Structure 1
Amino acid sequence: MSTIKNLKPNVSWVQLETTQEDWDDATPELLQNFAVQLHLVRAFEEEVLNLAGQKLINGPAHSSIGQEGGAVGSCVPLTPADQVNGSHRGHHQFLAKVFGYVQPTGFSVDDELSPEVVDVLYRSLAEIAGLKDGYCKGRGGSMHLQWKEAGAMGTNAIVGGAVPFATGFAWADKHAGTDAAAVTYFGDGAANIGSVLEAFNLAAAWKLPTLFFIENNQYAVSTTVEEATGESRLSGRGQGFGIRSWRVDGQDTLAVYLATQQALEHMRAGEGPAIIEADTYRYFHQNGPFPGSAFGYRSKDEEQGWRDRDPIALVEAHLERRGIATREQLDSLAGRIKEVMTEVGSRIVEPDASGRPGKLQIKQSLWPSTDFIDIGIRGEAPEFTGDVKEWGDFAEDELEKRKFVDVVAAVMDRRMETDDSVIVLGEDVHKLSGGSRGATKGLAEKYPGRVLGTPISEAAFTGLGGGIALDGRYYPVIELMYADFLWVAADQLFNQIGKARHMFGGEHDMPLILRIKIGTSTGYGSQHSMDPAGILATSVGWRIIAPSTAIDYVGLLNTAMRTKDPVAVLEHDADLYKTEGLAPKDLDYELPLGKAAVRREGSGVTVISYLSMVKRALDAVEESGIDGEVIDLRWLDRASIDWDTLEASIRKTNRVVIVEQGAQGTSYGAWLADAIQQRLFDWLDAPVARVHGGEASPSISKALEEAANATTADIVAALKAF
């Protein structure tokens, strides 16, 4: 007969409830600070809904009315060094963190608002209205609020999308030897997102000081927590990951404050992450100025029940009970703050051009210039002052014969040796003599603590790298074991990392390297053989390098790491890693950004390619007998294409063949062919020809794998077709 043994979790999970003694122990200064901030957030949100109701806010307005207690209670204990990020419903958390930055001594119920606080209200409202005076110059709007200097690292429109970044902030805090912590706010809906759960695990495994603050407002749009999960007490998730957790009444600002203090003490002591679940309620619908009951998924009685436990009323009741403030003082406070918000709101509107009485419009002078639309997608190109040194310019003693993959490891060794901020992370990069193929050989032993072997959780560790890049103290180099795993980490790579600089105003750097192994011709089949160039090139914010030689790998990587942008580095496994060739002894060698290489001069046709297909293109030109000019692109992103070299060649040859190895559906050449025909149509004597793989992804069968990818013979056929 089997026996049953009850297992106990390794961490505590508690519900914290305040008593009157707690309220009596709270200092008058603390309670007044609560009251003022709660009123500030409430009045701000009411003005947002006022503007939204007049259709003056473009896009959604996710108000936090009713949920102020969780934001204020959790932000008041934070220091300026602590960082926060959040979700689409994040006005209250942004404001509470920023108030603590501009007025660290707190607020008194009788004091007038300082110019700095009024400026926060104005710039926040301007941002939500999409105006140039906003923190993100109008690009962020309601869902993307950021002020890095204040530790407000950005709110996020993707449910759960911001959470992995917070682990990156926390990693940077811990690695820098500080006791700062990162707080990431998300709702009950996001608690079911895979990247959030991956972030739980990564933070717990590495003991990162990350506070996962679950703002459980009972509804994901109209779906209840009970409908969406089998355990509606969402803080219970912490036990499965070994994360200490608290559950509190989110309407009780003091309870949230005390729980946050305990969580911060736990994290600052080096004990790892924490979870706080605050049960709360949004008084209005998912967005806009109407209650949920207007849409039929909540009752008016339910809404009134939560309003009866309003966080502002609760704090004010204790202020009155203890004689800290009178009803008249509190009413005066509320009135003064509403007057300020009315004045702030009036600064962004003017009478409507139609002249209709009472009709308003956004002040035309406050809109950002349309010329600003593409500014700040990426940073400035690094200055290159030396002569361009290509393969033929090296002296014999400046080169040595090395395996390509060994050069990959060697140049990263050099970068880590010269820059203590560089870290490497990815699956197995710290073991197996340099990961799955040896591309990080020797780094873990030489740089302890800076080579991080991650769990198999691409969304978590790419997001962590994105958070490190946004934080700015360290330079993350992420290895993605196979290119197909881009899809696993797609939100973090494309919605988060790639867009971060531009959507938050275009001023902060996002320095990051994403090394991507391409598994073509390795027998790994449909889910490990993708060429990602086409996908990356059509995704905003990424630079892309595609080194076809070991010399180029050194020169391009070194330049890429000076761009302050996210850069994808494409590395062919079977076709390049195992090859031997000449490499520079000088591992600081650089090539200029956006400069292609003419590998063979010719006048009959321009053959454009990248990575291992460059060699096949050269072989095909010789085999065909056609005088082809072969151009190795090297830089593949739209901003870095060498149009000068391409145009000079095409004007000479009047014919183009674009050569790539991968599948037709994710083709890089499709957009490039279109761009060439738009730019250089008058110089073309024939349509741009393209050589690419088949429609299907490569299969594991060797015969089918070879048939799926473009070959030298395919290039020869395309050349002879002219």
Structure 2
Amino acid sequence: MTSERRLAQAAPWTEVTTTTADWDAADPALLTTMYGQLLLIRSFEEYVLELAGAGLVHGPAHSSVGQEGGAVGSVLALADRDTVNGSHRGHHQFLAKALHHIEPKGLDPRADASADVRALLLRTLAEICGLDRGFSHGRGGSMHLRWREAGALGTNAIVGGGVPLAAGSAWAHRQAGTDAVAVTYFGDGAVNIGSTLETFNLAAAWRLPLCFFVENNQYAVSTSVEEATGEPRLSARGPGFGIASWKTDGMDPLAVHLTTRAALAHLRAGLGPALVEADVYRYFHQNGALPGSAFGYRSKEEERAWRARDPLALVARHLQRRGLFTAAELTESGERAARLVAGLGDELLEPAPGGRPGQRRVRPAEWPDPSFVDVGVRGDLAEFDGARYAEADTFDGQLTERRFVDAIAAVMARRMETDPSVVVLGEDVHRLKGGTNGATRGLKEAFPDRVIGTPICENAFTGTAGGIALDGRFTPVVEFMYADFMWVAADQLFNQIGKVRHMFGGTTAVPLVLRSKVATGTGYGAQHSMDPAGILATAPGLRVAAPSTPFDYVGLMNSALRCQDPVVVLEHVDLYLSRGPAPVDDWDYCVPVGRAAVRRAGARLTVLTYLAMTGCVLRAVDQVGVDAEVVDLRWLDRASVDWDTIGRSVRKTGVVLVAEQGAAGTSYGGWLADELQRRFFDWLDHPVQRLTGGEASPAISKALERAAIAGEAEVAAKLTEMAGY
């Protein structure tokens, strides 16, 4: 007969509650500061709702009124070197960390706020209102609050989107040899998001000093926790991943504080991540100043029961009970905080001309200049001052024939040797003698702590790399085994990494390189064979490099690693085993960002192409015998296209073909042809021609795959057709 044995989780799961004795033992300075932070944050949030009700906050106002105890109780346990990020409902998280940074010795609500505290509240309110003096010049608004100097890495509008980024911060803390930790705040809805669960696993596998702080406010918009999950005690998720977990009452700031201290001791001891679940309650609906009961998904009785446990009132009662505050001092402190916050509005607002009595508007001088709209989507490339550039035909070093894939490994080895900040991560990059294609050959042996094999979790490891880049101490190089896998990590690549520089004011460096292979023609089918260039090139914030020779790969990778923008480097499988000129021992030159290469001069027509299609075009031109100028684009994103080289060729030939292998629907040439016709209409003798694959994704069948993509034969046919123009 079978036998059964009940299994227990290896990681501890603990519930923490406080007693009167805990409150009596608490440091008076801690309780005073706790009350001061709670008062300021509550007053601030109530004022934001007032402005939102008056139409002075453009977009949502996700209030944290009622939830302040979780943020304040936990942040006051942190050190200034620790970092936090948060959710779309993150005013309280941001303010708690920033206030703790400004006033590390504590706040006394009986005294007037310092000039620094007032400046913080004013900048935060300005950001929420979308004004120029805000932390991100109004670009971030309510849901994207960031102050790096205070360790506030940014709140996030994508549910669960910030969790992988916090893992990157935690990794950087540990790699730098510090005992600092990262805390990522998110709600009950994010517990069910794939990026969150992926990061649970990654953090546990890597034993990162990361605290997952779940503010369980009982509802994801209007859907209750009980409806959304079979285990409403959300901290139960932690032990399943091997994460030590705690559950506590988030309406009790001291209980949160003591719980966080226990979690921090675990983290700083190097025992791996921690998870804290704090049960809290938002007094208002998802957005705005109406209660949830007004929308029918909560009862008034439920709301009254939670309000009776208000964290602000709880701390006030204990302060008075212990004789630390009088009733009059509590009242005066509340009035002082309200006056402070209202005064911020007086600085930003003025009476609306011709409006109703009491109606106000934003002072016109407070708005950002509309010309600022696109500034900082990418950096200005000032980091390339002093860079040494080279091209194969003018290179003054020694060249030799080398396999393309060997050039990848060689330049990465050189950069990791000369720059200790460079780290490599991805699936199997540390195994198989250099990953699945040999591109990381020898790196793990030479740099064992900087070549990191990841679990299969594209969202988590891409976001972790994003967090590492934003930390600023390291430069991550991420390998995606296939370009199609980018869409598994689309949130982190497009919503987070691609947008973060611009979203947070245009000055945030994101030194990240993502390498990925284009496997068109390898028989791997529809989900491993796409050319992503057409989508990547139109995504704001990313730069895209597409090398077609070993020499260019070296220079383009050096530029990608020097660049302070995120760069996607595409590698075509057909090129890996191809051979071409490469340096013998000089691996330090750059190919300029935004510089194309004329591979063949000609006067009859211009062909614009990239990656492996460059070789197809050159062979087809020789086969057909047409006098074509072949331009290898090399940089594909909108900001980096070499319009000067293209323009010279177009003015010379008047006829243009954009040739690519990939599918018609996601074609890179679609937007490029449109832009060519806008820029060079007066010099074009004919509409820009395009050559792409078919509509369908490549199939497994060799015959169907070949029919789905464009190659040398299709280029030759198109050139023959165009020769008659």
Counterparts in 2 of 1:448-527, with a 5 A limit?
A: 448-527=448-527
C-alpha displacement at 1:711, in angstroms? 1.2
For residues 14 and 355 of structure 1, the distance between their equivalents in structure 2, rounded to whole angstroms, comes to: 57
RMSD of the alignment, in Å? Answer: 1.0
Counterpart code for 1:394? F
For residues 286 and 453 of structure 1, the distance between their equivalents in structure 2, rounded to whole angstroms, comes to: 40
Counterparts in 2 of 1:608-619, with a 5 A limit?
A: 608-619=608-619
Counterpart code for 1:687? P
Instruction: Check whether the contact 1:384–1:592 (CA below 8 A) recurs between aligned residues.
Output: no
Partner of 2:366: 366
> Identity percentage over the alignment?
61
C-alpha displacement at 1:721, in angstroms? 2.3
For residues 581 and 720 of structure 1, the distance between their equivalents in structure 2, rounded to whole angstroms, comes to: 28
C-alpha displacement at 1:388, in angstroms? 5.3
1:98 maps onto 2:98 in alignment:
yes
For residues 580 and 229 of structure 2, the distance between their equivalents in structure 1, rounded to whole angstroms, comes to: 56
Partner of 2:390: 389
Counterpart code for 2:372? F
Instruction: Check whether the contact 2:109–2:337 (CA below 8 A) recurs between aligned residues.
Output: no
SS at match of 1:119: helix
Partner of 2:34: 34
SS at match of 1:561: helix
Counterparts in 2 of 1:196-595, with a 5 A limit?
A: 196-381=196-381, 382-383=383-384, 389-394=390-395, 398-573=398-573, 575-585=574-584, 586-595=586-595
1:109 maps onto 2:109 in alignment:
yes
Change (3 A) 1:216 1:274: same
SS at match of 1:638: coil
Count of aligned pairs between the two proteins:
720
Counterparts in 2 of 1:184-199, with a 5 A limit?
A: 184-199=184-199
SS at match of 1:721: helix
CA displacement 1:8-58 (0-9 Å, x = unmatched): 111110110001110010011111111110000000000100000001100
C-alpha displacement at 1:386, in angstroms? 7.2
Instruction: Check whether the contact 1:691–1:718 (CA below 8 A) recurs between aligned residues.
Output: yes
Instruction: Check whether the contact 2:49–2:289 (CA below 8 A) recurs between aligned residues.
Output: yes
Counterpart code for 1:701? S
1:14 maps onto 2:21 in alignment:
no
Instruction: Check whether the contact 2:387–2:590 (CA below 8 A) recurs between aligned residues.
Output: no
Change (3 A) 1:32 1:386: closer
Counterpart code for 1:593? V
SS at match of 2:309: coil
For residues 276 and 322 of structure 1, the distance between their equivalents in structure 2, rounded to whole angstroms, comes to: 29
For residues 353 and 531 of structure 1, the distance between their equivalents in structure 2, rounded to whole angstroms, comes to: 55
Counterparts in 2 of 1:598-677, with a 5 A limit?
A: 598-677=598-677
TM-score, scaled to structure 2:
0.98
Structure 1 residue runs of 5 or longer lacking an equivalent are: none
Partner of 1:61: 61
For residues 316 and 347 of structure 2, the distance between their equivalents in structure 1, rounded to whole angstroms, comes to: 30
1:140 maps onto 2:140 in alignment:
yes
CA displacement 1:528-582 (0-9 Å, x = unmatched): 0010101101111000100000000001111121111100000011x10011222
Partner of 2:158: 158
Change (3 A) 1:354 1:621: farther
SS at match of 2:149: helix
Partner of 1:123: 123
Counterpart code for 1:383? F
1:83 maps onto 2:80 in alignment:
no
Structure 2 residue runs of 5 or longer lacking an equivalent are: none
Larger mean CA deviation between 339-348 and 83-92 belongs to 339-348
Larger mean CA deviation between 514-523 and 711-720 belongs to 711-720
For residues 37 and 245 of structure 1, the distance between their equivalents in structure 2, rounded to whole angstroms, comes to: 26
For residues 439 and 656 of structure 1, the distance between their equivalents in structure 2, rounded to whole angstroms, comes to: 35
C-alpha displacement at 1:385, in angstroms? 5.3
C-alpha displacement at 1:384, in angstroms? 5.6
SS at match of 1:347: helix
Partner of 1:49: 49
For residues 35 and 427 of structure 2, the distance between their equivalents in structure 1, rounded to whole angstroms, comes to: 48
Instruction: Check whether the contact 1:380–1:563 (CA below 8 A) recurs between aligned residues.
Output: no
For residues 330 and 386 of structure 1, the distance between their equivalents in structure 2, rounded to whole angstroms, comes to: 61
Instruction: Check whether the contact 1:548–1:612 (CA below 8 A) recurs between aligned residues.
Output: yes
For residues 356 and 364 of structure 1, the distance between their equivalents in structure 2, rounded to whole angstroms, comes to: 18
Instruction: Check whether the contact 1:603–1:653 (CA below 8 A) recurs between aligned residues.
Output: yes
CA displacement 1:83-135 (0-9 Å, x = unmatched): 00011000000000000100000012322110100111100000000000001
C-alpha displacement at 1:618, in angstroms? 0.9
SS at match of 1:142: helix
For residues 249 and 302 of structure 1, the distance between their equivalents in structure 2, rounded to whole angstroms, comes to: 16
CA displacement 1:472-527 (0-9 Å, x = unmatched): 11000000000000110000000000001100111120000000111111111100
For residues 516 and 228 of structure 2, the distance between their equivalents in structure 1, rounded to whole angstroms, comes to: 36
Counterpart code for 2:54? Q
Counterpart code for 1:646? I
Change (3 A) 1:386 1:270: closer
Instruction: Check whether the contact 1:689–1:718 (CA below 8 A) recurs between aligned residues.
Output: no
CA displacement 1:665-695 (0-9 Å, x = unmatched): 1110101001101111111111111111110
Instruction: Check whether the contact 2:513–2:569 (CA below 8 A) recurs between aligned residues.
Output: yes
Change (3 A) 1:318 1:642: same
For residues 393 and 21 of structure 2, the distance between their equivalents in structure 1, rounded to whole angstroms, comes to: 81
For residues 127 and 593 of structure 1, the distance between their equivalents in structure 2, rounded to whole angstroms, comes to: 33
Instruction: Check whether the contact 2:130–2:367 (CA below 8 A) recurs between aligned residues.
Output: yes
Instruction: Check whether the contact 2:186–2:213 (CA below 8 A) recurs between aligned residues.
Output: yes
TM-score, scaled to structure 1:
0.99
Instruction: Check whether the contact 1:246–1:259 (CA below 8 A) recurs between aligned residues.
Output: yes
SS at match of 1:212: strand
